Amino acid sequence: MASTAPLSGLKVLELGGLAPSPFAGLILADYGADVVRIDRLITPFGPPRDTLCRRKRSIVIDFKRPASRDAFLELVRAADVLIDPYRPGVMTRLGLGPDTLLRLNPRLIYAHLHGFRPDGFYGHRAGHDINYLAVSGILSILGRMGEKPSPPANILGDFAGGGLVCVTGILMALMHRERAGGRGQVVTANMVDGSAYLATFPRQQHGRQNMDRPRGENLLDGAAPFYEVYETKDGRFVAVGAQEPQFYAQLLAGLGLDDRKMPGQGQWDREHWSETKETFARVFRSKTMNEWRQVFDGTDACVSPVLEFDEVEMPYKPLVELSESPSLDVSMQEDFPELKKGEGSLEVLKEWVPEMERNMVIDEASKLLTLKRKTTTTSHLGTSKL
């Protein structure tokens, strides 16, 4: 039975990279796209292996070897999307930049995924999630009062502001292609601007009521006693977000506290927030996390347990659920998956370039893909060096 996933039939080349670009490819693959990771012969230094490889296959390419480069270009001819995670200009210096590849395949969506804004001050410099958040202005608002800014792992910059934003651009470009007679285009995403866009609300609210104080002294960043994380008797934690008065009333009831006996003049008396927070902290330490769950799980007090990964509600769900064109199944996920270099490459050739398959060679040891004979594929493209 044919897949009804919305991206079924879409062919994607994902140039091998770190977390953000594989995440973009993962989303596309989960919704039916055929994603092929283009690996290099060398294994670059970096964090543990790429585990964002669900449903992907791999082909090994050496861009500096003419025969391998020619094989890559045959794949580009068949592709709908190419994801490029390299620094600005790298693929262009190889003679494989967007202008060249769009001439070869005018339907191609060439998606750049950069760290810094490519035409900005840091555009050609190396960086990671923490650096992108730093220059986007976001890192400055994350953290506790009196402490240094605290990065939220690499979720916000790499995955939300990077990979997910890149996918948004790709989908928009695909929609445009349908309306523009099949013409592709270049999508340029970067983690600085992508993350900054996600922070539109706090930026607009900055300096206004409830967001007009230094880091850690505002409504949503740790100052309010009713929007805070509290430790429980067993060393676990609960998260409290009872902003609205009706939710706050249920919070107090669950804690066994009388609003009339609370410090100050009620919930929004900022001068007494620290005193109220001390009271809440003392009460929360009187029971275990599970005991507090028995108190609050059936209420609208906006009190939730802080769960570990292995405690969350199962099964896993897709990014979004679509009634008529659902994603592929993601309910079971391997803990530390691996896509070996060259895995699935023979099948890719049969499905993507069947007319060229007999001219392709995959080296048994290195898995490097090359084209047996010189074709006209690159005769008008030329070659260049890094």
Q: Per residue in 362-386, is it b (16+ CB within 10 Å) or e — as a string?
A: beeeebbbbbeeeeebbeebeeeee
Which helix (DSSP H) or strand (DSSP E) does residue 57 occupy?
A: strand 57-60
Instruction: Please provide residue 303's backbone torsions phi and psi, each rounded to the nearest 5 degrees.
Output: -120, 125
Which helix (DSSP H) or strand (DSSP E) does residue 111 occupy?
A: strand 109-114
Q: Judge whether 158 counts as a catalytic residue.
A: yes
The residue whose two tokens read 């994350």 is 142
Instruction: Please provide residue 234's backbone torsions phi and psi, each rounded to the nearest 5 degrees.
Output: -95, 15
What are 73's strand-pairing partners?
none
Of 158, 259, 269, 329, which residue is the catalytic one? 158
Q: In the chain, what's the furthest Cα-to-Cα distance? A: 86
Cβ 145 vs Cβ 126: under 8 Å: no
Distance separating alpha carbons of residues 146 and 38, to the nearest angstrom? 46
Q: Which residues are identified as catalytic?
A: 158
